[in-house]
Structure 1
Amino acid sequence: FGGSLEFAEILKKKCVNKKLPIFVEFECMIYSGFKNDSGSVWVSGYKKGLKMAAYPGKLTNFALETLTKVYPELSSADNIIETGLSNGNSVAHAPILALNAGWAENQDMEPFLFYWQGCTSGVGRVVEGVDEERLALGKALGIQLFSEKEMTLKYYSYQGAHGKTISEIYRTNPVYEWDYAPKTFQHRFFLEDIPYGMVPMENLGKILKVKTPLITAIIEIASRLTNQDLRSQGRDFRRLGLQDISKEDLLDRVRTGI
């Protein structure tokens, strides 16, 4: 979330008086897969209907024309805030791992499937609660977001995912059949998805006056589990000069790049 904003700020400082490139963000990685060895990967899934946006947003259609030559099923989002808020990894990974902490630390005895076994109905309700906070952020900005349930079905229903709850959908998704849980808390589910997903969402909530108690709780729990201050490592809006920005100015910033 907000990678284009941070990268653009760095380049502005390093490349004074030079034209910046067009930045493009996808909702998520278009492929699901695993590294086999140093020279090959196994692609286990392909996300249909993925959205993208450019920064500045006024160049999104231009970028889409180029990218659809490679990925013809791509569609455009309103802006990079929409794509940033549409990354389901930030909603699912950290809550599931945090709520299975004991099992994750004891996998020498019995490894477990992260989604199929880890996302029980109760854990799924917490994921849905985090998702409700994410949707509230979008609503406050006038952005109509898909729920995590809708997104997962959009990406994977053609491969067999189905259900009414997030637990049911995750546990019927064949793409997740081989997704084993991390055996350590020093893993991207915490070290990436919280600093670069949940922390910016928490920051955005403060700007928009939207409460994010579950997001805040997961950040705190994961920081304790990893023995790191994940919030201070995150993409803080103060570092981007956005701490006092209004909703209207934020939307204008991502549209114009200025």
Structure 2
Amino acid sequence: MPEDNFEDAVTTVQVARLAVKPPPFWKPDPRLWFAQVEAQFVRSGISTDETKFYAIVAEVDSAILAHASDIISAPPATNKYNTLKERLIDEFGESTERRLKRLFETCELNDRKPTTLLREMKELANHRLDKQILKSLWMRRLPVHVQQILATLKDDVEIFAQKADDILDISPGDKLSTIDTEDTRATLADLVSRLDRIESENQRNVDHIGYGGRQKAPPSRSTPAARSSQSRPTQSNICWYHQAFGEQANKCRPPCAYVRPHSEN
């Protein structure tokens, strides 16, 4: 029975060594490197602390392991793998202070998607910031017109990021621009449409009621009155803008018979 157990242990170590082939240790982000290794552990069914520990010792370059030589030469009785992992992350990873400084000072949108920026900021924050603070920091990195649209919504920051991606897909261009382009054009188009409707309605009312509020029948074309009325503009053939603003109007809509009055000398 003990011999069987020994054979099982040897087989487990051999399988672990064959199954786990991590990439070269990545100094810029050891957390990500350990995440890759742990994915291989899961895929290979490796769960024991000792097997994980010796898999790392067997595969990582000795120049890296030199920073944890005390742990390797005299490993703790329990929690061997996590002890080694934390040492290597402390030695090669960014400090919490440096990560937060990068989050607040140098993390920008540039040519990336808002969802990509959010993922990086969450990684740098590492659950050390309140979600609302992180959301506020992220939104400040977006173009102004995207901020204005998102400010009218009430959703989680993850949903905001997806919507920000969609907005920038619809209105591409300089992501660093602070000029509201697409949203402004839509707003102006809506205002022009409303003015057109108001003008048309006023024109119909003027044509129906006539100047002075009395019902008027149009004079016959053959009478002198008709020829006289055609020689000077009336309310019915002056556009809404000139009716409302007089000579200050600057958006005259044809047909319009308005004549600017001559200034007196």
TM above 0.5: no
Return the TM-score normalized by structure 2. Answer: 0.21
Question: Quick check: which one's strand share is greater?
Answer: 1
Question: Quick check: which one's helix share is greater?
Answer: 2
Larger radius of gyration: 2
Return the TM-score normalized by structure 1. Answer: 0.22
